Amino acid sequence: MSNAVKVEVGLGERAYSIFIGRNLIEEAGERIAALFGDIRAAVVTDGNVACFHLDPLLSSLRGAGIEAAPVILPAGEKTKSFDALQEAVDAVLGARLERGDIVIALGGGVIGDLAGFAAGIIRRGMRFVQMPTSLLAQVDSSVGGKTGINTPRGKNLVGLFHQPRLVLADTGVLDTLSLREFRAGYAEVAKYGLIDRPDFFAWLETNWRGIFDGGAARTQAIAESCRAKADVVARDELEKGDRALLNLGHTFGHALEAATNYDGDRLVHGEGVAIGMALAHRFSTRMNLASSDDAARVEAHLLAVGLPTRVADIPGSLPGPERLLDYIRQDKKVARGALTFILTHGVGKAFIARDVPASEVLAFLKESHPG
């Protein structure tokens, strides 16, 4: 097998490894068989990913003696729904997989979240493997065990924590991503620098072109992002404390996604996070928590890589500030109605701000709203 970079997620008896490198789809059968032994599998994917990567994965699994049933769902954020969840569950049960078999999530964040949720509830919990095919999924959603679906009331409001047993991040598959999707994933890479790794953010400012081009810089950025997330997850698996820092930019971003009805033509998740991170830094400046120079620096870097940073960058009309605030009130970090945001004292100095006055948020949304 290839010399992939290995990152460990330390969760005691539920610890698992993340492997990062090229050709991991071709090696998947061998790696999975070595870990699980004699098993059968369901491969949950979407129509777009299936065109590029499903056949090589099925071939690899067959070569290792693993019988696998493909489950192909529509691509896009709207697949994170009750209807698609039921379809996936029915398909896995229809393939007569047993509790000791595995579910493989082959896709981006949508497929990873949905397949992991399905694995967590089928037969009261099946084992599953994450094989993320987008940059966003490789550095964020495939690690840490958060699974779930969206509802009309908000994003990721129904789900559970269900850790994977293995993550195989094939960096070569990122070559098939559109530039827009790669940029969207890069927003989550930048997030790790902005939370508590200012040196990493400075490295990104210098090396981001190499990450887009592929090669060593890409692998290094993905591995560092996974280490950052693994460290936080090991400390706070169920998000009762500082794991909430990983939501930098997400409170604003999730509200904007809900406001666009999860229309991926208008806004994909990473773009919402980019706008959300820029808003979080500007809001921190407004609250006299951080320098305007830091907010400008963050915005400049996101703009340099081609990401949106303003609410006005979202095409089409949006609900007014009051409605956006309603979406924010549905955020999972809200406690007893009090608003919680991830704010910052500067680059790499994020913190959890509780009891943020709704009046301040509304005033800021009015300033930021294109209407």
The residues assigned a catalytic role are: 124, 146, 188, 229, 239, 243, 247, 250, 254, 269
The CA dihedral of 154, 159, 162, 168, to the nearest 10 degrees, is -50
What's the first-to-final CA gap in the chain, in angstroms? 55
Using CA atoms, how far apart are residues 333 and 330, in angstroms rounded to an integer?
8
Using alpha carbons, select from 93, 100, 88 the residue that is nearest to residue 39.
100
- Give the other-Cβ count within 10 Å of 2's Cβ: 10
Using alpha carbons, select from 296, 352, 347 the residue that is nearest to residue 194.
347
| Ramachandran angles phi, psi of 308, nearest 5° | -75, 150
Question: Quick check: 279 and 329 in contact, CB under 8 A?
Answer: no
Using CA atoms, how far apart are residues 241 and 222, in angstroms rounded to an integer?
24
Q: Where are the alpha helices (DSSP H) in 214-287?
A: 216-235, 250-259, 269-286
Name the DSSP class of 37: -
| Ramachandran angles phi, psi of 288, nearest 5° | 60, 35
Using alpha carbons, select from 176, 158, 185, 178 the residue that is nearest to residue 83.
158
In order of 30, 214, 278, 339, 351, the CA distances from 335 in angstroms are: 45, 42, 24, 7, 17
- Give the other-Cβ count within 10 Å of 322's Cβ: 10
Let me know if 89 is exposed, middle or buried by CB neighbors in 10 A (0-12, 13-18, 19+). middle
Q: Which residues pair with 20 in a beta bridge?
A: 5, 169
